[in-house]
Amino acid sequence: MSRTAAKKQFSIADQIQATAHVECRKDAGVIDEIPMAYKDIDAVMTAQNELVEIVHRLRQVVCVKG
């Protein structure tokens, strides 16, 4: 979704909950980076399962913006 749409749809409380396991800013200035604004990685990988082999799964632990 667009950054503007994310800012309209999600709150700071949503951001705090979605990034509880990530060390990052949790304020209005980064609400457009909320994970739900991006495509679901599991759906993306499933759609291309004939093209790729998943050998590792990474988990975000830090996000630096601004």
Q: Which pLDDT tens digit goes with each residue over 24-33?
A: 999 999 999 8
Distance CA 14, CA 16 (A): 6
| 24 C-beta neighbours (distance < 10 Å), count | 15
pLDDT at position 66: 63
Chunked in runs of 10, what are the mean pLDDT values of the chain (66 residues)? 93 95 92 92 94 92 83
Model pTM score: 0.75
**Residue 52 zone, left/alpha/beta (φ > 0; ψ -120 to 50; rest):** beta
Instruction: Give yes or no for a contact between 12 and 27, defined as CB atoms under 8 angstroms apart.
Output: yes
What per-residue confidence (pLDDT) applies to 64? 86
Q: Which domain holds residue 11?
A: 1-66
Q: How far apart are CA 36 and CA 40, in angstroms?
A: 8
Res 31: pLDDT? 92
Total structural domains within the chain: 1
